[in-house]
Structure 1
Amino acid sequence: MAIDLENFDEVKLKGEELYKSLIDVHCPFFNGKVYFNAQGLGHLKFKRHGHARPQQDQYMRFKLLHLAPIILRNSKTLQGIWETKSFEKIRVHSRTDTVMKDVTYYEFVAVMENVRAKIIVKQVAGGQRVFWSIIPFWGIDKKTKKKKLHSVYRLTDK
């Protein structure tokens, strides 16, 4: 998949429209729903509050976003899990507080359309499971020493 940053605004706009059209997806692994909310959309655009992701990262995440609901709908096996504690913003009596909470990140990996992608689902203790991120499989081009998107190689490419 070629990265054409000249189309960045168009890809980002289409990705945001797609994301906003998604409400939830049934995931067989959880035997329940994974929700697409504003936090997930924000995480596609920002690494942390006030620090935007580089355009190349945003471009690839939005370009591959259409794979996220398909991968989640078909995921019966978990590839990774990470449990941690972090400060999370929660609503309490019409105000927002930042509280230390247990957080679990679930990782699903799939190959679709010749691209290997990792889907991250986040669950704050006692809360809903939400789509958190789609991560393309990046590698380093040995000739140019630059980051590139790896696609699946055919058996004849060995």
Structure 2
Amino acid sequence: MPDDIHSRLGRLSPEIQAIMGVYALYWKLEETFDCIETDLSHPECHMLIKLNEPKRMGVLAADMLSVPSTITATADALEKQGYLIRERDPEDRRAWLLVLTERGHETRNMLVAEAGDLFHRASGLNAEETVEFARMACKIRDNILKTGIPEGLKK
């Protein structure tokens, strides 16, 4: 049966095949991300992953395609749970940086590893193919963001 589907879909244009593949990957990852054992919400996990280095709230909001008020609420929750702290930015003492604690780093490392494993299982791509897919996905994302953040990402 999968061979029949593959054959039928193979007759579609490359653009339609790409759209269908990205859509299927998105939904498979959404479904499997819920399997990661954590008490954190999706926005909290997303913030931890984006905090690969200390960042100002405005920079983090841009990285997360979010509004500052959402970032503040998520940061407050993560700070209360001991995943991050706020420190003065040494380059501008008026500004604050969000900095992961040891607990935050450990949880971030777990989330990154789990997400990577889930991506490889869902996509079927090897390491080399993943690098190429990431390059193309970044190009697509940059092109889309040139015209403004899509409504679905504003939520």
Structure whose residues are more often helix by fraction: 2
TM norm structure 2: 0.29
Larger-gyration structure (1/2): 2
Structure whose residues are more often strand by fraction: 1
> Which protein, 1 or 2, shows the higher relative CO under an 8 Å CA cutoff with sep ≥ 6?
2
TM-score of the pair, normalised by structure 1: 0.28
